[in-house]
Structure 1
Amino acid sequence: MATTDSTFRAFRIEERDGQYMRSVQSMPFAALENDEILVRVHYSSLNYKDALSASGNKGVTRHYPHTPGIDAVGVVEQSNSPTVAVGQQVIVTSYDLGMNTDGGFAEYIKVPAAWAVPLPEKMTMKEAMIYGTAGFTAGMSVARLVELVQPSDGKIVVSGATGGVGALSVAILSHLGYWVVAVTGKESEKAYLTGLGAKEILLRSEIENFDKKPLLKPLFAGAVDTVGGVILENIIKTTSPLGVVACCGNVASVKLELTIFPFILRGVTLAGIDSQNCPMAHRLKIWGNLADAWKPRHLADTANEITFEQLSEKIDLILEGKLKGRTVLKVAE
């Protein structure tokens, strides 16, 4: 049990002469935010946004020293809220966690009660962080797809398929019976993607070099795009009538050069995915599906578990685009 005179471990980022230094430190409990619930973190996970925060990206984190970690799961040790009980297992993702509020790369966090999602009965704490924000984003994307697209309607393409959102999208959609085409720039990862359930592998260079015409031959009934830019453009142009494209990333580019033809001649839906500000009722529904009907049989195969001491190395790899799947941080011993 936490006490005011004790300390806890946290992975801290400090700014020194324009450089951003990373280290595991002992922090006093007085340094935590003055908020409604105190959560002892059992697991967190590494996301691209965490790597940006750890590198001094002021668009993500304005002030330092700071503890990244936009995902956390653990047990409530103190609560000033009637809606969250001491001893309850909760997931905390999205909102401001790990951005300008100290995040899950620590043994304890203090957050508003409204940020806490009860851990579903059919989900372990580790599974919650194998999903994390990436899995929740994948879940939101799948939810938009299944509204209008059935497995019998045709192929679903997933871009950035070796990344966190992409890998989990491949696994979930395959589990639900969809024929998944995985897009990757890494030829060496074909076996990994096939293991997740992908039926076909499309190299990034192939989809980037599609014809420049405003509309192309329909290839896909739907898509989960995690990268943006020309890949998203070409996915939209090759989506079948009444198809759905869920868009949740911009690592390639924030710009789209398109006509409106895919939308007014084929009725294609471009669905934006914003996991950070998702309403709680929808959030609970998505987590419930991820815990049960949508849970891939080989969920654990999408993730690697690490310790505090390995975080800095993994942050460098994710920034270089060399990290595949999900990276889960084990916090509690």
Structure 2
Amino acid sequence: MFKALVVEKDDSGYRTSLQSIDEAQLPEGDVTIQVSWSTLNYKDGLAITGKGPVVRKFPLTPGIDMAGTVIESSHSRWKEGDKVLLNGWGVGESHSGCLAQKARVKGDWLVPLPDKFSERQAMSIGTAGYTAMLCVMALEKHGIKPTDGEILVTGANGGVGSIAIILLKKMGYTVIASTGRLEEEAHLKSLGAAGIIDRKELSEPGRPLGKERWAGVVDSVGSTTLANACSTTKYAGAIAACGLAGGADLPVTVMPFILRGITLYGIDSVMAPLERRIEAWGRLAELLDISKLESNTTEVGLEEAIAVGPQLLEGKVRGRVVVDVNR
């Protein structure tokens, strides 16, 4: 038996609780993992609260991220004792996930834990940080250089935004952070932001084509914020869009695309191929300042994660939350 969060839905409603699970209830897979640490992302908040159609089957253990040790494997790439991590692949949505002391998954979904990171540190990064790296890689491969101008990061206090700031600063870019929590200015500047703007500047409907400002953008908000980011990006600039915390709509015109030649990159971390995942985690190991990562991380126990879910959705959580599944 092991402990796990379980999401259930029946005639009495939707609920998440801490339960004891028999290993026989684990889903199909060719690798079984002793989970050491998990984490909470926006999608996990939706799964825990039921405020979004994330969970596709019931009952199910939420949690899209984990770091841990292989305890049983019939997969050719993995053996007992290997340190691994997992991000996405529908785990915590249609396949029971990682907010548990044990998990069983497909070996093809796993990435080796980089030597630089402990299991806890890897979950301080999690899908949010891995997605931030994919966004930064997209801007880099587009050819945007630090000398080209400012990079806008929206949703800056969230997991993606905060780690994007750390990475971009390390790479020499000038970062402007957009946030609704202006009281967090000192924290965001400690991560590497050169300046702060109120998210209200981007969340209200703007002009189809605004004054050029941004060489590039990392956006986790979507909706009007993303539309305004597009309309104010410089000629031949690029936006990496990875989230919809502000909404799934995109009220933008074609003008920024056909008159300024900007590029909008869609960043998917859930189904990204193994090669890209390994590249992203390698770059994270190369660039991420672990001391800044620690100041950006809060730790909770497994049952405590239930209460954090709604806080994530309300934008009340700073940076990253790691979950010690053994307490």
Q: Return the letter of the residue paired with 1:293.
A: L
Q: Return the letter of the residue paired with 2:273.
A: P
Q: Which moved more, 1:81-90 or 1:8-17?
A: 8-17
* Structure 2 residue 238 is the aligned partner of structure 1 residue 233: no
Q: Give matches, 1:52-63, under 5 Å.
A: 52-56=46-50, 59-63=53-57
Q: Which moved more, 1:11-20 or 1:189-198?
A: 11-20
Task: Find the aligned partners of 1:89 and 1:135 in 2 and give their Cα distance.
Answer: 19
Task: Find the aligned partners of 2:104 and 2:52 in 1 and give their Cα distance.
Answer: 22
Residues 171 and 296, structure 1, Cα contact 8 Å, conserved in 2: no
1:211 Cα offset (Å): 4.1
Match of residue 245 from structure 1: 239
Q: Match of 1:207, SS?
A: helix
Summarize the Cα distance change of 1:209–1:100 in structure 2 as closer, same or farther, 3 Å threshold.
closer
Match of residue 27 from structure 2: 33
Task: Find the aligned partners of 1:253 and 1:298 in 2 and give their Cα distance.
Answer: 29
Task: Find the aligned partners of 1:123 and 1:144 in 2 and give their Cα distance.
Answer: 23
Match of residue 170 from structure 2: 175
**Structure 1 counterpart of 2:154, from 153, 159, 171:** 159
Match of residue 197 from structure 1: 192
Summarize the Cα distance change of 1:25–1:184 in structure 2 as closer, same or farther, 3 Å threshold.
same
Gaps of 5+ in 2: none
Residues 156 and 177, structure 2, Cα contact 8 Å, conserved in 1: yes
Q: Give matches, 1:1-333, under 5 Å.
A: 7-56=1-50, 59-147=53-141, 148-209=143-204, 211-212=206-207, 214-295=208-289, 297-332=291-326
Task: Find the aligned partners of 2:158 and 2:214 in 1 and give their Cα distance.
Answer: 21
Task: Find the aligned partners of 1:296 and 1:199 in 2 and give their Cα distance.
Answer: 20
Q: Which moved more, 1:137-146 or 1:250-259?
A: 250-259
State, as a whole percentage, how many aligned pairs show the same letter. 39
Task: Find the aligned partners of 1:139 and 1:9 in 2 and give their Cα distance.
Answer: 32
1:14 Cα offset (Å): 2.2
Task: Find the aligned partners of 1:129 and 1:145 in 2 and give their Cα distance.
Answer: 24
1:210 Cα offset (Å): 6.8
Residues 170 and 287, structure 2, Cα contact 8 Å, conserved in 1: no
Match of residue 4 from structure 1: none
Summarize the Cα distance change of 1:179–1:73 in structure 2 as closer, same or farther, 3 Å threshold.
same
Q: Match of 2:49, SS?
A: coil
Q: Which moved more, 1:94-103 or 1:134-143?
A: 94-103
Task: Find the aligned partners of 2:52 and 2:194 in 1 and give their Cα distance.
Answer: 40
1:107 Cα offset (Å): 0.3
1:104 Cα offset (Å): 0.8
Task: Find the aligned partners of 1:161 and 1:65 in 2 and give their Cα distance.
Answer: 34
Task: Find the aligned partners of 2:18 and 2:147 in 1 and give their Cα distance.
Answer: 50
For each residue in 1:225-278, what CA deviation from the matched residue of structure 2 results, as whole angstroms up to 9, or x when unmatched?
110111111111111111110001112122222222211222211000000111
Q: Return the letter of the residue paired with 2:163.
A: L
Task: Find the aligned partners of 1:88 and 1:168 in 2 and give their Cα distance.
Answer: 27
1:123 Cα offset (Å): 1.7
Q: Match of 1:194, SS?
A: helix
Q: Which moved more, 1:41-50 or 1:285-294?
A: 285-294
Q: Which moved more, 1:315-324 or 1:230-239?
A: 315-324
Residues 7 and 60, structure 2, Cα contact 8 Å, conserved in 1: yes
Match of residue 3 from structure 1: none
Task: Find the aligned partners of 1:82 and 1:174 in 2 and give their Cα distance.
Answer: 39
Residues 205 and 224, structure 2, Cα contact 8 Å, conserved in 1: no
Alpha-carbon RMSD = 1.5
Task: Find the aligned partners of 2:302 and 2:326 in 1 and give their Cα distance.
Answer: 11
Q: Return the letter of the residue paired with 1:223.
A: V
Residues 91 and 117, structure 1, Cα contact 8 Å, conserved in 2: yes
Residues 289 and 295, structure 1, Cα contact 8 Å, conserved in 2: no
Summarize the Cα distance change of 1:257–1:57 in structure 2 as closer, same or farther, 3 Å threshold.
closer
**TM-score by structure 2 length?**
0.96
Task: Find the aligned partners of 2:52 and 2:244 in 1 and give their Cα distance.
Answer: 17
Summarize the Cα distance change of 1:58–1:320 in structure 2 as closer, same or farther, 3 Å threshold.
closer
1:295 Cα offset (Å): 4.3
1:57 Cα offset (Å): 5.1
